[in-house]
């Protein structure tokens, strides 16, 4: 077969590192500076001073709400939480049909069913108002579905939503069955605000690729959940806490870190694909874990210092510091979130960012379609 040579393709670096694939007005991660923002606001400042609902409004509608707007906005979210309750019997049946101890897998199935029940339509066919409604409806359903999947996996009945507790308080209630105290609501709220969005990470990029096809919003979120399920993305908080369990005492921290490096293993909870120094999210979460107190928080702070010392000795040219996952597990555990719900809880936050990115992508009319370079046997 006669082969016609095409121009040599431009090969992107592995993982598309450093490649700009789209414009966004939602935020940015400045890895070299150790800084990230949502729209025009420092994200860590928002997490310290604002609620999840405020940040949600900022990403979806473009501004931080004033008190009157905030009340109305919380009312809209409450309506969506109660709307999910109305499908509770059908969604519980879906969860029971495929019981699993992996709530993220159940969430993927249940959110797909929810899209069918609510009549989700292709983004291509919807106007901006209908798209936004689909985004709000779907994001509001995720905490209910996560908590319901956890309950069903334990042979229990899902708890009804209590939207008067707020987004974070309602989630804690549905998972634990107890009315949460203000410390837990504040601490978990900080974590959720810090993880709402973080640039074009794997799950967000996946959601935008599917959105570029004009698919329905539910399909985009299901795809993002699939990306999040990988241990290199959403599974790290529980693994970092597992590492703390293995270490046990501060005296074991340095030997453990050296053993990990000698075995070529990743030191879970340290280093980041973008940040070349301290992950700014870990600073606020360290402070939050310390405020919550407890033996695990105290151990985590002391172990961090020892592990960083070993990493600096082994890799003096590349500083590896604690990332968001290192303290995330500590904070979630102290707030009453069971370990198997760490990644699904991350999804309760990140779905807000996913849906904002999906809406932004849907306003474009161009499908993602990169090229590849063939490296197989010559064509005969």
Beta bridge partners of 167: none
pLDDT digits (tens, 9 = 90+) for 106-143: 999 999 999 999 999 999 999 999 999 999 999 999 99
Largest CA distance in the chain: 73
Res 9 pLDDT > 60:
yes
C-beta pairs of 62-69 under 8 Å, 24+ apart in sequence: none
Q: Which residues of 211-241 are buried (b: 16+ CB within 10 A; e: fewer)?
A: bbeebbbbbbbbbbbebbbeeebbbbbbbbb
C-beta pairs of 22-29 under 8 Å, 24+ apart in sequence: 22/200, 22/208, 22/361, 22/364, 24/200, 24/357, 24/360, 25/360, 26/59, 26/197, 26/353, 26/356, 26/357, 26/360, 27/59, 27/197, 27/199, 28/199, 29/198, 29/199, 29/274
> Quick one: which of 360, 347, 356, 30 has its CA closest to 195?
347
More confident residue, 316 or 187: 187
Active site residue 325: yes
**0.85 exceeded by the pTM?**
yes
Phi-psi region of 16 (alpha: psi -120 to 50; beta: other; left: phi over 0): left
What span, in angstroms and rounded, lies between the C-alpha atoms of 271 and 201?
15
Q: Which residue has the tokens 């309506």?
A: 79
Q: Is the dihedral of CA 52, 285, 337, 218 positive or negative?
A: positive
Coil, strand, or helix at residue 29?
strand
Res 32 pLDDT > 90:
no
C-beta pairs of 276-280 under 8 Å, 24+ apart in sequence: 276/31, 276/32, 276/318, 276/319, 277/34, 277/319, 277/321, 278/34, 278/321, 278/322, 279/34, 279/321, 279/322, 279/323, 279/324, 280/34, 280/35, 280/36, 280/43, 280/44
> Quick one: which of 291, 317, 315, 320 has its CA closest to 304?
320
Selecting among 272, 304, 306, 357, the annotated active-site residue is 272
pLDDT digits (tens, 9 = 90+) for 60-95: 999 999 999 999 999 999 999 988 888 999 999 999
Coil, strand, or helix at residue 122?
strand
> 170 burial class (0-12, 13-18, 19+ CB within 10 angstroms)?
buried
Cβ contacts of residue 123 below 8 Å, gap of 6+? 131, 134, 211, 214, 215, 216, 217, 220, 358, 362
Least confident stretch, 145-159, 247-261, 272-286, 305-319: 272-286
pLDDT digits (tens, 9 = 90+) for 178-223: 999 999 999 999 999 999 999 999 999 999 999 999 999 999 999 9
């Amino acid at each position: 077969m006669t082969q016609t040579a095409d121009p040599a393709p431009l090969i992107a670096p592995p993982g598309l590192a450093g490649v700009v694939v789209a414009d966004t007005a939602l935020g940015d991660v400045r890895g070299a500076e150790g800084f990230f923002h949502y729209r025009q606001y420092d994200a860590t400042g928002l997490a310290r001073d604002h609620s999840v609902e405020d940040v949600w409004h900022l990403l979806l509608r473009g501004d931080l709400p004033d008190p009157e707007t905030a009340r109305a906005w919380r009312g809209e979210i409450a309506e969506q939480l109660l709307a999910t309750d109305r499908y509770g019997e059908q969604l519980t049946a879906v969860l029971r049909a495929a019981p699993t101890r992996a709530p993220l897998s159940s969430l993927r199935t249940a959110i797909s069913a929810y899209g069918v029940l609510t009549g989700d339509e292709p983004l291509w066919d919807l106007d901006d108002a209908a798209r936004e409604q689909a985004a709000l409806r779907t994001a509001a359903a995720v905490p209910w579905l996560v908590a319901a999947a956890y309950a069903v996996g334990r042979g229990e009945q899902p708890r009804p939503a209590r939207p008067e507790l707020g987004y974070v308080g309602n989630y804690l209630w549905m998972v634990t069955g107890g009315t949460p105290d203000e410390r837990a609501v504040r601490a978990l709220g900080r974590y959720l605000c810090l993880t709402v969005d973080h640039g074009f990470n794997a799950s967000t990029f996946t959601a935008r690729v599917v959105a570029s096809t004009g698919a329905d919003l539910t399909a985009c979120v299901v795809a993002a959940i699939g990306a999040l399920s990988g241990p290199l993305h959403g599974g790290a908080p529980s693994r970092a806490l597992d590492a703390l369990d293995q270490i046990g005492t501060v005296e074991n921290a340095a030997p453990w870190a050296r053993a990990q490096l000698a075995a070529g293993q990743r030191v879970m909870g340290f280093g980041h694909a973008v940040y070349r120094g301290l992950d700014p999210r870990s600073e606020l979460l360290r402070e939050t874990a310390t405020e919550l107190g407890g033996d695990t928080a105290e151990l985590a702070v002391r172990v961090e210092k020892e592990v960083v010392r070993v990493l600096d000795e082994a890799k003096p040219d590349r500083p590896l510091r604690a990332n968001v996952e290192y303290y995330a597990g500590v904070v979630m555990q102290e707030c009453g979130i069971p370990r198997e719900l760490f990644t699904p809880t991350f999804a309760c936050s990140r779905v807000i960012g996913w849906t904002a990115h999906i809406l932004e992508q849907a306003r474009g009319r161009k499908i993602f379609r990169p090229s590849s370079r063939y490296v197989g046997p010559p064509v005969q």
